[in-house]
Amino acid sequence: MSRFVSIVGILVVSFTLIFSSVGFAEDQAAQPAAASTTTDAAPAATTPAAPVADQSSPAVPAVSDASAQTAPVPPAIPTLKPIVITFSGELAAADAKATPATVTVQDRYGVRKEISLPAEAKISQSGAAKTAADLKVGDKLTVEYTYDVASGKRTAQVITIGESASSKAAGQ
């Protein structure tokens, strides 16, 4: 119980200090406005009084014409370079009629990626060179492709064919 009382006491003191400092800041902001209303020896009729700015809104600094003409130039957007990514999964679909041909690979989590397959892409299985016609739905693939960050396109460079689920079942 004494621990609860001391925590409540600390909170009360903290809130008191916070709210008293807010009032102090408001008093400080009001003092310069009050001091500027006093006039020295200058007659009030010859110089018009400047309107008092609202203390709650920040003052906007005046911009000279010279600084407006020489505005800073924003930095140039960097060129986005393609990155190389390796993706492994099962061949879910292949479209040989598309130009260039495309393969859709699905990983074990269900993530599907459509990757274009240009003629210069290297396809191999157990070290032997293969062609796009050798790819069958269900084949385990490891695809190394470039991802063009600017356009979002994936282009295969190297495809390695692993053992498919159907060939495993046939070998048993």
Q: pLDDT of 75-114, one tens digit each?
A: 887 788 899 999 999 999 998 888 889 999 999 999 999 9
Which carries the bigger pLDDT value, residue 157 or residue 2?
A: 157
Cα 4 to Cα 87: distance, rounded to the nearest angstrom? 58
Max Cα distance, the chain (Å) = 109
Confidence band of 36 (pLDDT split at 50, 70, 90): very low
pLDDT at residue 38 tops 60? no
In this prediction, residues 33-50 reach a mean pLDDT of 51
pLDDT band at 133 (very low <50, low <70, confident <90, very high): confident
Q: Quick one: how many helices (H) and strands (E) in the chain?
A: 3, 7
Residues 140 and 123: their CA atoms lie apart, in Å, by 13
Instruction: Tell me the average pLDDT of the chain.
Output: 76
Tokens of 104: 């859709």
Q: Are strands 122-125 and 153-161 parallel, antiparallel or unpaired?
A: parallel
Query: Residue 37 phi/psi, 5° resolution?
Result: -80, -15
pLDDT of 138 reads 94
